[in-house]
Structure 1
Amino acid sequence: MFLGAHTPKLDDKGRLILPAKFRGQLADGLVLARGQERCIYVFTPETFQQKVSLITTAPLTSKAARDYVRVFLSGASDEEPDKQFRVTIPPALRQYAGLERDLTVIGAGDRAEIWSTPAWEAYYAAQEDAFSSTEEEVIPGLF
């Protein structure tokens, strides 16, 4: 499970060093994909395969499903960390997420997410207020 928030830097070659807490889960490889809210999702290969199996069960007659599959899978990239646990983020994904030097990598349960730090800070500030004032069940059975 991926938990917490970490602030690695993107180097000049478009690489980041994986947070130490995530290395065990990602040491043998990972899949990067476009995430919603303009971040990058980071999956283990097994979790990514599960997601692909789910989304490809959508009916081919659904335009929304076809569009989602195209955008999600066309930007996906399987990567392997080097000996220093650095991972190269492909240029198209860096551009999609607006990544520059300062990054925030968060744990989101079954995946990690890579955010531009300014984008994460803005997102988090907006969501924190909504989170603390939630009066109804957002996820059934959670609280």
Structure 2
Amino acid sequence: MSEYELRAARPADIDAVLAFWAESAEGTSISDDRAGVARLLERDPQALILAEHEGALLGTVIAGWDGWRCHLYRLAVHPAARRRGIGTALLDAAHARFAAAGGRRADAMVLEHNELGRSAWEAAGYGREDQWRRWTRPLDGAARPAS
């Protein structure tokens, strides 16, 4: 038996996932709330992959597939569970999901100042593409925050 199992998140996991991200993930997202995670699970029930052991959440990754691109978000492993292959297993599951859907390349959102995260992504074979920048705009009519 493995020391953890991977599975798709369910609506009953939302509060635990949000608490886990607050403790284990770097940064926050505009969608880090119950409604945001619920929308994700409703639209794509297989997108949020969890690693857990005896009900305790050890890691997450969102493997979003829009039919065109493969996007990875919220790769996080609990600080006490790092260096045990959990992040690699989560990415392997995400890559398998993408390959089965016909995806050809995955991209990841990585905060510039997150050195630990950048090291993890590089170790997984990802590289920064300096010619691209993320452009965003709030959809609620709010003014865009100053840079």
Q: TM-score, normalised by structure 1?
A: 0.31
The TM-score with structure 2 as length reference comes to 0.31
- Bigger-Rg structure (1/2): 1
Tell me: higher relative CO, structure 1 or 2? Use CA pairs within 8 A at least 6 residues apart.
Answer: 1
